[in-house]
Chains A and B, each alone.
Chain A
Amino acid sequence: MFSQTIALFRYQLLGIINGRIIILLLMICSVAFLASQFVAQLAIINSENIALATMADFLRYSLVLLLIISLSYQISQDYELSQFERLLAMPLSRLQYVLAQFLVLVVLAFVLSMPLFLLIMLLSNTSVAMYWALATFMELMLVGQFTLLAIISLEKLPLAVIFSIALYLLAKSVSLIDLILSRSAPFYDEEGSFQLIQFLFSGIHYVLPDSSYFALNNVFFEPVNYVDLLSTQFISVMVYSIFIQSVILIDFYRKEFN
């Protein structure tokens, strides 16, 4: 079973890691570096930290986008070219397919995080670079699993990309939605519809990642305990990954392929 999964993983990996993605990655890194140097020219004080934080955030969001598009494209091709029908005709379980895709995600997230580590290490120090690369790796793993869920459920590339980005932004906007609800409460507290929205959102809160699941950009401005931050993020991402993987498996096992 294990060798079959590895064989499937290698086959899938060849389709996703190619020259095009490496060139794109190099271009993103160059743009991020240039944009950060431009910001550094504008800042009068603290320019090094501002430039570094700008570059780190620019790279984080670009890599998330790149990961979502690459993964969605890869699996949407499996649907379009009827690969699933062929794969499932072989002695392969659906669990093996999901596992192979998870391994592809691990390698892709690692490949995307590497230039991030090197670039930040060149411009700053190893500990900050190590923190940011590991934290971004975990963030990419989280978003990658949203994407796996989206593309396996929705099957179409545009739908999966929009859904993944929407989910990512919703998770990032938790504090903004909280603020809107708390500011609106004095005006609409009596209204049933408002209470329903509050109830729904507090429910959604439980199944959405919060800020502890993502890389924290403030590390570029203040001394922090990297081990504490990384261990908290690791545990949160681990627990959430198990939950998401179970949803993916249930959804995938319910699918009918003719």
Chain B
Amino acid sequence: MAASQRKISQIPAFLLAAFLLFFATQLYFHHAHNKLSNYIYRSLKTPLDAQFYRAVSFGSEQLLSYLLLIRVQLHDNQKGQHVSYSHLDYETLSNWLMTLYNMNPASDYPAFLASRVYSNVQDEKKIRKMVNLIEALFNKNPQQHWRRMTEACLLLKHQLHDLPAALKIAEQIANLPATIKMPFWARDMRLILLDELNRLESAQILISSMLQSGEIKDNDELRFLRDRLLKIQQNLSKNKQN
């Protein structure tokens, strides 16, 4: 049987006063804390060992690796504000991407983020960090990462204006043994690099070739590349009209 309730007036006054005081303190504390933490940028924490993440995944290591990648990817959105990539610590970011690749070597997501997302920054050192990461991933598994290496070539040529470095990477792709299956255009990246094409033209050739090769199976990536190609084509036609 439920106990009936007494009137509020029967509660000792000091208890009510204490309640009001603590309630006001809680409201003030929450408000002040929120105000203070509003503008603090939290930097990316150093990742732990891939083996640790694998052990805490309870057998869902591939899912956990993707969820951690999404968490890293969302790091540039803090408290509803977008933080520019130039604020990110690329050394830590690179460690995260490598750790999550080690956790799930079948995944192309870390290399994709390096070549397509985090390379969109106006900082030479940061772009080089991403290119180095792509190169390291390529050395681990050339069959899986040759596409990202071709993208790294264009990054080096058009964003860093470092043709010799781009040619070196193209040479690494060309020197791959015949057992590594990839289309001819990828082995001939040097020709694309040496051609007098601008950034948009090179990107158009690369993306069209990738789409035509049938190597890309993921629907999201196909959509992403088609959108990118459309934008490039629009920009090219605008340039021509001008």
Contacts and interface: CB of A to CB of B under 8 A. Distances in A.
Instruction: Answer whether A and B are interacting partners.
Output: yes
B54 A175 contact: yes
B67 interface: yes
Contacts, number: 76
Given A57-B60, A221-B106, A44 B220 contact: yes
B3 interface: no
Contacts of A39: 67, 70
A47 interface: yes
B63 A175 contact: no
Contacts of A50: 63, 66-67, 70
Which of B109, B218, B219, B220 has its CB near the most chain A CB atoms (within 10 A)?
B220
A65 to B, nearest CB: 14
**Could you tell me the dominant secondary structure of chain A's interface residues?**
helix
B63 A42 contact: no
Contacts of A43: 66, 70, 220
B109 to A, nearest CB: 6
Contacts of A47: 220
Say whether chain B's binding surface is mostly helix, strand, loop, or mixed. Answer: helix
Interface residues of A, number: 26
Given A42-B74, A45-B108, A217-B60, A175 B219 contact: no
A46 B63 CA distance: 11
Given A42-B70, A44-B117, A176-B56, A53 B63 contact: yes
Contacts of A221: 62-63, 104, 106-107
B63 A54 contact: yes
Range of interface residues on chain B? 20 to 34
B70 A48 contact: no
B184 interface: no
Contacts of B106: 221-222
Interface of B: 51-52, 54-56, 58-63, 66-67, 70, 73-74, 104, 106-109, 112-113, 117, 218-221, 224
Shortest Cβ-Cβ A-B pairs, 5 listed: A217-B60, A176-B55, A53-B63, A172-B58, A45-B220
Given A45-B108, A53-B63, A178-B55, 19 more contacts: A39-B67, A43-B220, A44-B113, A45-B218, A45-B224, A46-B109, A46-B220, A50-B63, A50-B66, A50-B70, A57-B63, A173-B55, A175-B54, A179-B51, A179-B55, A217-B63, A218-B60, A221-B63, A222-B106
29 contacts: A39-B67, A39-B70, A42-B73, A43-B66, A43-B220, A44-B112, A45-B108, A45-B109, A46-B66, A46-B218, A48-B220, A50-B63, A50-B66, A53-B62, A53-B66, A54-B63, A172-B58, A172-B59, A175-B54, A176-B56, A178-B55, A179-B52, A217-B59, A217-B63, A218-B59, A221-B62, A221-B63, A221-B107, A222-B106
